[in-house]
Amino acid sequence: MLKTTVAALRAQLHELAPPALPAGPAWPTGLDALDVALGGGVSRQGITELVGLRASGRTTLARRLAAQVLQTGRWVAVIDATRTLAPQDWAGLGARLVVIRPHDPSRAPWCADRLLRSGVFALVVLDGVPVLPRPVSVRLAQLARDRETALVVIGAPQAGVAAGTPVVSGSGSVRLHVGGGRRSEVTVEKGGPPVRVPLPRVLAIRPRLALRWPGADRRGAERRSRESRNAESRGATVTARSRRRR
């Protein structure tokens, strides 16, 4: 009886366990030229930085990578530190995608730490964080190596900081610079030969959600309120005159 129960539990665990990782030390991005430059794709045992201007295509490239990983049956986690990801772009990628939105952006590295320690996720995307301190980046890089997990870090644009500034202090094994404009391309700045790979047009670059709701047009509201008061005043005057005539 006990042997039967143990065998049944093992069978259930085997069904729940994720499939074995495909051969190779990296996750392919789906862009052949970029995969060749990176030696197969994004490393499963380190940190990959995506730097560049806002709306240059960094998040779009990360989403393409997430789709590639999800197709293998593995789990993917995205930490939306600034809470600005457009949900409609990620909703159709599959049930194994988990999106975490911390209330405080400073808690995003802690979330990445917990997710890496779990060993469940094959890819963790840390999106919208300021420059990571060296102790934090070293710890996350070590966890990524130990768990054989790809960690992709996308920096948040900061006032007074030049676009393309590294977001990982000291431990970024690979750095990719994504450039927008008419000729969107990815430049391998660190961790591989300094080559430039053009992005195909099928990589649709979408604007992110607004960080803050736009403020109300107070001048328009005041003007409409003033016009409404004037109309009411004119109506009251006409009514008073008609009463006097009577």
Range 166-193 average pLDDT: 77
Classify strands 174-179 and 75-80 as parallel, antiparallel or unpaired. Answer: unpaired
Domain that holds residue 115: 21-198
Which DSSP symbol is given to 93?
G
Compute the C-alpha angle 129/177/27, nearest 5°: 85
pLDDT for 184 equals 77
In a domain, 183, yes or no: yes
Mean pLDDT of the chain: 77
Instruction: Give the model's pLDDT for residue 6.
Output: 57
Lowest model confidence (mean pLDDT) among 85-89, 96-100, 177-181 = 177-181
In a domain, 235, yes or no: no
- Exposure b/e, 203-241, CB count within 10 A at least 16 = b: bebeeeeeeeeeeeeeeeeeeeeeeeeeeeeeeeeeeee
Least confident span in 10-19, 25-34, 53-62, 231-240: 10-19
Domain count for the chain, please give it.
Answer: 1
Tokens linked to 218? 């107070």
Q: Of residues 17 and 62, which shows the higher confidence score?
A: 62
**What residues pair up with 46 in beta bridges, in sequence order?**
150
Cα 68-28-42 angle, rounded to 5 deg:
110
pLDDT digits (tens, 9 = 90+) for 93-126: 988 999 999 999 899 999 999 999 999 999 999 9
DSSP H or E stretch at residue 89: helix 87-90
- Domain membership flag for residue 12: no
Residue 153 lies in a domain: yes
Tell whether 246 is covered by a domain: no
Structural domain includes residue 232: no
- What pTM, to 2 d.p., does this model score? 0.71
As a whole number, mean pLDDT of residues 164-174 equals: 68
**Residue 161 falls inside a structural domain:** yes
In a domain, 206, yes or no: no
Q: Write b or e for each residue in 100-137: b if 16 or more Cβ atoms lie within 10 A of its Cβ, otherwise e.
A: bebeebeebbebbeebbeeebbbbbbbbbbbbbeeebb
Q: 68: burial class by Cβ within 10 Å (0-12, 13-18, 19+)?
A: buried
Cβ atoms within 10 A of the Cβ of 140, count?
24
Residue type, 139: R
Give the relative orientation of helices 108-118 and 134-147 as an angle to the nearest 10 degrees. 20
CATH of the domain at 174: 3.40.50.300
State the Cα–Cα distance between residues 54 and 157, nearest whole angstrom: 7
Contact 156, 81 (CB under 8 A): yes
Structure confidence by residue, pLDDT tens digits, 181-235? 666 788 888 887 888 888 775 555 555 555 444 444 444 445 555 666 665 666 5
- Quick check: 17 pLDDT over 60? no
State percent of the chain over pLDDT 70. Answer: 64
